[in-house]
Structure formats: C-alpha cells, structure tokens
Structure 1
C-alpha cells in the first residue's frame, strides 16, 4: 500500500485517513464497559492528528469531564512536511488568533492542550477550552519534542500513518505506554508486531474486526470506485470537504483490557467436527498434519477442536477471537516466527505452511491451555 522502508519513510499521500466518530466511540466504550475508570486521571496523547478536524480530539474533548481525564494533548504534522496535504490554507480559527504566524503555520506542527482550566468560564471543561500553540518542530512523532509528550502521557490513541505503523507501535511500546491505534490486520504478521501479540503485550481491539471501516480522505485522493460506493452505502457520501473510502482490513490494536477478549471460544470435539463441521475440508476428513511443522492444520476458527492438546495452526483471523485464558500463542509461520522444535525438514526455501505438498495460508500456531 505505502512504502514501508522505515529508514526513509515519511508520511505517504495514502496515509491520510480520518477516522469516523462512530468507530472511535464503539472502541472506547468497550474499554469503559470493562473498566469505567479506564481514563480517569489519565493524560491522553493524540499524535499524528489534525486537532482542528480530528474526531479523536473532538471525542475526548467532549467527554473530558465524563471520563475524568487529567489532560488531553493533540499534535499535528506540519503541512509543508506532509505530502498528504494536497493544498493548505490556515483556518479562520488560526488566522484570527493573535498567535498566528504565517511562516509557522506551514513549517511547524501544532499542539492543542485541554486540562482542568475553564478558559471559557462556562463552568465546564470541553472543546471550547482547548488551548493551542505551535510546536518547535514539524510534529513528527519520532522527534524529541513529541517523544517528551509521549513520556508525559499515560495512553496514546490515534490512527497513525499506515506506512509507519511498525515504527509507531514500537515508539509507544518503548515508552511503556498504553495504546489504542488503528492499523491493517496484516500487521499481525510483522516481525515488530507479532512478538508483542505472542507475549500478550498487544492484542486486537474490541470492535472493527472483519468489518468495513470507513475513513474520510482529502479531496483529490485516488479512491477505487468500489470502495467509494461501499462507503456511500454505509452512509458516507462525498461532500465539499472530504471523500470517503472503506478499508476492509483495518482494525484496532491495543493493550487496554476489554471484556470481549475474555469471552470463551465455543468449539466442538475432534470427533464432532469431523462428523458435523460445515466445512468440506474437515467434515469426513478430520485434521491433517503439516509437511513442514509439527502441528495439525485447522483452517477455520470455528473448527478448532475442544479436545486437542497439541499445537494447531489456525488462520490469522483467530486473533479476533483470541482468549488468553484459553490458548497460548506459540508462533507464526510468517517470517519463520515459530519455535525451532516445531520445524520439520522440508524443501529448502519454503516457509509457508504445507499440507500434502500444497501451500496453505499463513498460520498462527496455538496450544490450548491445560486448564481450559
């Protein structure tokens, strides 16, 4: 999709996807359902954002008092440093402010801050009390300036540039912060991401898995007709400010607890799956072993047997239903991220899972917990 050479990557023109309010609300509500105080007395950082237009900023500013936040910080990337900016003109909000600087508006990032200060004097703390300033630099999350804001924060929440997803997640993890970010579901296979999932330091969010997430994009962004039409059917027609597209492989990644990751996966026994499964690959056949891994292939999440104690290879979509109380993740076939003892000698250079001499999709290797 976008260049992912992290040594040279900057924001790509295909990275500017604006998250919809409903998607933010659904995910945050799932955390609140599990722990009503999850945001209380917390400093939340929203980097890689556009504070004036971002639904992330609006959402948390609106709920600042409801959630009991301590502080909200939102930062943006400088227009001149962002190739995703097709054209830029400062808004009247910025132009009419005494702090407006015609040079900095193009070359510097901006920071919006909301704390307990009732700037408007209306007795509430909300979006009317946001205070803004120019950053010293361009707002790149990797800068010392924004990294210092990360260090001040408790939770980092945003839709980061997809082309820098690996580096962004590592940046948050390096700061030992909680996070909730949007990325491609394919990110679970990344060498930088999968170990975090295996070690239970990162997991799928509660919502948006295996669904179409709709994003606003700058006018002029190239969009496939099918994606534009799907967004329209979902209630997002193009308007004077934005076009809309859908990304079917987008999802949330987080290390914030939510109850849905502890819902048990219901399954049948090996014998019952072999007899009753709706999948022709299992019904009447059972489970076949890999040619190159010491594990059985289970090609469908709903066919995971309840009584198999060994290692199973399951689809990547298993992570949408992964319950750490039921299963241990022991590896992944992609990039050879699997225990050496699970590897079986096979044709040189073949790292995909093979069954009966034929390659299958990449698999996550799991083992049912003894107590589950």
Structure 2
C-alpha cells in the first residue's frame, strides 16, 4: 500500500502544472454563445493557482454565465469548493473572496461523490485535467453526458478509449491544437525552462484542446489538389491502405483507405471524410484499431489515422 501511495503522489506532482491566462482566453473566447446562461465547473482548479477560475470570474458577465464552480485535489487534506454567481460580483476586480467558499468532506478528487454531484449540476466542464488520468477523466464526462472543453496531450488521440470516441463523433479537437505551451510549474519540479518572479515555467509539447462543443472549423472543407499515383502513394505491407505522409497531399481522386498523420484531426470534417481506424495497433481487427503498427517497405511507419474521402473528385 505504501508503494502505491508513493506512486500516486509522484503522479500528482507530475500533473501539477498550471495553464497560462492567455492560453485559456485564446481558446475559450470562441465559445461565447455556447457559454451563455450555463453553469461552468472547473473541477481540477485551485483558485489560488489556477487561471481558469480567474479567467471565468473576470469574464462572468461577458459570457453571461449562470454560475461558476471550482474544486481541486489535495493529496494530504480535505479541500473546498468555490461558487460564484452574478449576485456575488461587486464592482471592480473579481477575486476568490467574492465567491462562496464551502469546505468539502473529501480531498476534491474528481472521482469523489462530492465532485460527481457538482459535475451533475454543471452544464459545461472546462479545465486542464491530470494528463496521467486523461482516459478516466474523459470516460467520466461521457458517462454523465457532459459538454466539455479540456486540455490534453495530442498523442492521446491514438489511445484506444479516446480514438473510439473520436470515431463515434463524441469528441473532437478545439481550435488551438498540437501546440507547445508554457505552463507554470509547482516548486517540486526539478526541470524548468525559466523562472520569473519566483515562478518556474516549463514548455510542454503537443498540447491540444478536446471538446464536444460545436466549432466552425470542423465543418470547413479541406481543399485537395493532388492526384493519386501508385508511385507517390504506396500501399502498406500489412494493411490495405495507401501512405499519405502529409495532410496537404491527400489525393482528391482516391476512394480507398488512406493512412494520414494524426495532425489530420485538426482538419477533420466528418461531412468530407470518414474516420476508419488508427495504425497504432494494426493486425488484430479489420478496423486497424488494435494490433501491430503499419509497415511500409519493411519499416514501421509513424502514427497514422486511416480515413476515406466521402467526396471523391475524379
């Protein structure tokens, strides 16, 4: 049991990094109409460190929110929830002192019954969840039928559980995707890129926003100009699909299965393309979702998504 607790404590420390205000604003301001009149719950956010609370408190009236709720996890002690409504906001800057603070019985873990009760009350969940628990976190949101806008590593696209949801059109990418972002780090981190005003900052690659809120970009058609040739687009050794190494090179006239980089999801329009599978584990099933990776001329390829063009132009 002691070893399990130490492992969990280490994971918690490794998950403690805080999103910068500008990165939150850049993504969230695009959903203004969808936030209106809603209860937003940030369930992995300590108001003393998290900019999610600060951003939505500052923009409470701009978005026309009904309520803002925040909770956070503490491995050593019970924590609290903050609730903010329009009646609590006074003229001037909005701070945590404006909100109603209520002590929790538990430690604020998003899986606790107290947190789940708040989750059920909320309309939209917005946060930067623990990346080590990303699968479990997403599963909970889907289980309770919640709308969400959360951050995660872009490589989680190929996780079996996450890819299934993407394929079923239950989750997709937001606007700001696959970016290297700079986060504020807890004091426990031994590596960082810079220190400013006593705060450590570190750069984390391949960060994306994941959501089931509607976005304009997922209905924009990708302009295709290439023509298929067998020489330029060879077939895999172990899977009936052609290799397309760049999204921009997707041939407009090919009606079969194509393997494309996972960055394709940033351009994925479900009306234009069908998402077939992933090459992460080709071999165990016909969809290419489980098994070995794909091979080309005897060499293993990079991560690929398998797609078909619904609007082939000959």
Paired with 2:203 and 2:93, the residues of 1 have a C-alpha distance of 34
Specify whether residues 140 and 246 from structure 1 end up closer, same or farther in structure 2 by C-alpha distance, changes over 3 A only: same
- The answer for the alignment partner of 2:213 in structure 1 is 256
Distance 2:188 2:235 in 1: 50
Preserved CA contact (<8 Å) 2:282 2:288: no
2:55 maps to which residue? Answer: 59
8 Å CA contact retained: 1:156, 1:178: yes
Distance 2:88 2:171 in 1: 36
Residue aligning to 2:116: 147
1:308 deviates by 1.0
1:42 pairs, out of 38, 46, 53, with: 38
* 1:243 corresponds to: 200
Query: 2:254–2:312: 8 Å Cα contact kept in structure 1?
Result: no
User: Structure 1 residues 41 and 350 mapped into 2: Cα distance closer, same or farther (>3 Å)?
Assistant: closer
Structure 2 vs 1, CA of residues 125 and 145 (structure 1 numbering), >3 Å: closer, same or farther? Answer: farther
For the structure 1 residues 267 and 41, does the alpha-carbon distance in structure 2 shift closer, same or farther, using more than 3 Å as the test?
A: same
CA contact (8 A) 1:42 1:154 kept: yes
Give the Å deviation of 1:119: 6.1
Matched, 1:111 2:69: no
Q: Deviations over 1:144-196 (max 9, x none)?
A: 11001111111001001111111011111111001111111110111111101
Alpha-carbon contact 2:253-2:312 (below 8 Å) kept: no
The answer (yes or no) to whether the contact 1:330–1:339 under 8 Å persists in 2 is: no
2:248 counterpart of 1:302 = yes
Please point out which of 137, 145, 148 is paired with 2:106: 137
1:177 to 146, 150, 158: 146
Gaps of 5+ in 1: 81-106, 275-281, 344-348
Superposed CA offset, 1:216-251 (max 9, x none) = 001241225xxx0xxx5xxxx4322x2000111111
- Tell me the matched-pair count: 306
Cα gap change, 1:153 to 1:337, in 2 (>3 Å): farther
Structure 2 runs not aligned, ≥5 long: none
**Residue-by-residue CA offset, 1:60-79 (whole Å, 9 max, x unaligned):** 01111111111110001125
Q: CA deviation at 1:47?
A: 0.6
Alpha-carbon RMSD: 2.5
* TM-score normalised by length of structure 2: 0.90
- Report the 3-state secondary structure (helix = DSSP H, G, I; strand = E; otherwise coil) of the residue aligned with 1:187: helix
Aligned partners of 1:78 and 1:110 also within 8 Å: no
Q: How far apart in 2 are the matches of 1:183 and 1:119?
A: 31
Question: What does 1:124-273 correspond to in 2, within 5 Å?
Answer: 126-127=94-95, 129-207=98-176, 209-223=177-191, 228=193, 237-240=195-198, 242-270=199-227
Q: CA deviation at 1:53?
A: 2.4
Residues 60-108 of structure 1: CA deviation (Å, up to 9, x unaligned): 011111111111100011251xxxxxxxxxxxxxxxxxxxxxxxxxx11
Q: Which moved more, 1:53-62 or 1:254-263?
A: 254-263
Between the aligned partners of 1:63 and 1:243, the Cα distance in structure 2 is: 27
Question: What is the SS of the residue equivalent to 1:249?
Answer: strand
Residue in structure 1 matched with residue 13 of structure 2 by the alignment: 13
Instruction: State the shift of 1:125 in Å.
Output: 9.8
CA contact (8 A) 1:204 1:252 kept: yes
Q: Check whether the contact 1:334–1:363 (CA below 8 A) recurs between aligned residues.
A: yes
CA distance in 1, matches of 2:288, 2:52: 43
- Alpha-carbon distance between aligned partners in 1 of 2:283 and 2:17, rounded to the nearest angstrom: 31
